[in-house]
Chains A and B, each alone.
Chain A
Amino acid sequence: MGIPYSYSFRNLWTRRLTTILTASGMALVVFVFAVTMMLAEGLRKTLIDTGSYDNVVVIRKGAGSEVQSGVERSQASIVAGQPEVAIGEGGLSLLAKELVVLINLPKRISNKPANVVIRGVGPVSLALRPQVKLVLGRMPRPGSAEVIAGKNVAERFQGGGPGETLRFGMRNWTVVGVFDAGNTGFNSEIWGDVDQLMQAFRRPVYSSVIFRLRDSSGFDSVRERIEHDPRLSLEAKRETRFYADQSEAMTKFLRILGITLTIIFSLGAVIGAMITMYAAVANRTTEIGTLRALGFMRSSILAAFILESLFLGLLGGMVGLFFASFMQLVTISTMNWQTFAELAFGFNLTFEIAWKSLLFSLFMGFAGGLLPAARAAGMNIVAALRST
């Protein structure tokens, strides 16, 4: 048995102020680390939750997003004729030919303009997205200049609220309803009748065709047929995959940013921990000599000081994670670089982020404690005892 854990733990408690200050430095680093990971995860989750596994999105081959895509009417009709397309109530195909365009709207608070997605939808678009619920007002009447706005648009953009008017496509559009799509990207969109919007924006082609699979296992065959049909230069993706791809660039950027910032900050925190631990070793030289004289091995001394530093790191990690968890209450919006549209999303704390943050804080503790612990373990017993 080695030196008891209580020795390491109580030493931290004895020098509380130093412990708190050092752990605060580590907490800050863990906070930054966790928050950026939560941001990336929030974005990824928002975009992934936007899609349904049984829905298929068909866009032009090579187009990264609906904005860049174009599906001709004739092509859309061929897709609509595929046997894998599910049939809904009333015998209607669960398939929507949609248009996606970007417009510029000023924000309510800052008055600064930002891109918003306008989605031209068909009669079954809502049925294809069960997560989208009309929470206020009514659906737009077909053939009218009426739109419904996602919750985030209604809250954040001028003219996006119910009863308000938006001007785009050289027409005025009345917001007749507000929909809530939960934690998904649809909340940052405006929906209107697809034919009216195509006329307004003078678009002869749809952006995408979305349909529900009759049987989820039929995806591969329908994809094969669509992608190899010489009349179609289209590609088909499951909707979940489609939105996951859209989050890729942004989440990668956020992760790299987070990791870069964290590495820079962590150097400071590790040096802080190292200074604290060196001071601890210097103050306890006689204790170290005594423990060695009593028969404790160098490895026990090394372990005791590393454990102390790990405790310090863990404390910082837990505090940092505690404060980072409050960020889940915050929603932010930014431009999704893949679609160039404004997207609102929250910070999402997952179990994986939590354990990675704690592991990172333990690593900082270990890195900060290793050299001082090695110094403690390497001390000559007589010299250590003489430092009384």
Chain B
Amino acid sequence: MNSTVIRPPIVRIRNLTKSYQRGNQNIPVLMDIDFDIADGEFLALMGPSGSGKSTLLNLIAGIDKADTGQIVIGGVDIALLTEAELARWRSTNVGFIFQFYNLIPVLTAFENVELPLLLTALSRKERCEHVETVLRLVNLEERMDHYPSQLSGGQQQRVAIARAIITDPTILVADEPTGDLDRLSAEDILTFIDRLNREFGKTVIMVTHDPRAAEKAHLVRHLEKGVLSDN
């Protein structure tokens, strides 16, 4: 008989609403969202453009503010944090993977990965050790002195992943992580994210349009006009 392990939720969302103001018009984007994400989950958020999936991801990542509702991540209600507290919280709890990698072009791969560590109390030596370890993990230790423009799309995204995991965050948020990559590189990146989830137990929340990407996730949730539908 198979035993089912019930993991506690790392993300708890209750009565979440978000709307944007366009002129005098109030445009609702998310309506009364309620759901949990278990610790170590790999969740894919899907839906058509404008359905609110990126907005939901931004709210979970703490870079946007909800109108009403509660977002509790790792026991912290991030809606109650001030801007400065939220910035500090993000630096230790959230790893970002963007569609266009968002690496800083004037910094090397090493320096890009080191960036989040500059916000910690680690010494220079400790930072170096961390960065080298993570770059080795993404098979880019040979390219640590290369600038983003000297790397392929897939390699840049791997640097971005290294930057996302360098602080060992509570959650990894990925917004269309394969959207700018060819099929082979996309497969490589998805495999890597999957490995982070399976081997290292990272909670991954990924927004994607790509059904092949969604296949890697354990759980797929759909958003339609700001409403979350069941799997």
Contacts and interface: CB of A to CB of B under 8 A. Distances in A.
Contact of B64 (A6, A11, A294, A382): A382
A286 to B, nearest CB: 6
A292 B111 CA distance: 16
A385 B98 contact: yes
Chain A interface, >50% SS class:
helix
Given A4-B111, A11-B106, A294-B91, A381 B63 contact: yes
A7 B63 contact: no
A228 interface: no
A388 interface: yes
B105 interface: yes
Contact of A295 (B64, B105, B106, B116): B116
Given A4-B118, A382-B63, A382-B64, A287 B87 contact: no
B87 A7 contact: no
Nearest to A295: B91
B63 A292 contact: yes
Give the one of A1, A2, A3 with max B CB within 10 A: A1
Interface string A1-28: 1111011001101100000000000000
Nearest to B118: A1
Nearest to A386: B54
Given A293-B61, A382-B63, A10 B106 contact: yes
Nearest to B91: A295
A294 B61 contact: no
Nearest to B84: A297
A286 B98 CA distance: 11
Contact of A3 (B63, B118, B163): B118
A1 B64 contact: no
Nearest to B59: A382
A296 interface: yes
A interface, size bucket: 20 to 34
Given A2-B118, A287-B104, A388 B99 contact: yes
Given A381-B63, A382-B63, A296 B58 contact: no
Contacts of A292: 63, 87
B118 A388 contact: no
Contacts of B83: 298
Interface string A289-304: 1111111111000000
Given A2-B118, A3-B118, A286 B88 contact: no
B107 interface: yes
B31 interface: no
B207 to A, nearest CB: 13
Contact of B106 (A1, A7, A293, A388): A7
Contacts of A287: 102, 104-105
B119 interface: yes
Nearest to B83: A298
B106 A296 contact: no
B42 interface: no
Interface string B79-112: 0000110011011101010111010111100010
B119 A293 contact: no
A217 to B, nearest CB: 60
Contacts of A296: 87, 91, 119
A382 B62 CA distance: 10
B104 A7 contact: yes
Contacts of A294: 90-91, 96, 115-116, 119, 163
A292 B105 CA distance: 16
Give the one of A6, A295, A298, A381 with max B CB within 10 A: A295
Contacts of A385: 63, 98, 102
19 contacts: A1-B119, A7-B104, A10-B106, A13-B106, A286-B100, A290-B98, A290-B102, A292-B63, A294-B96, A294-B115, A294-B116, A294-B163, A295-B92, A298-B83, A381-B63, A381-B64, A382-B58, A385-B98, A388-B98
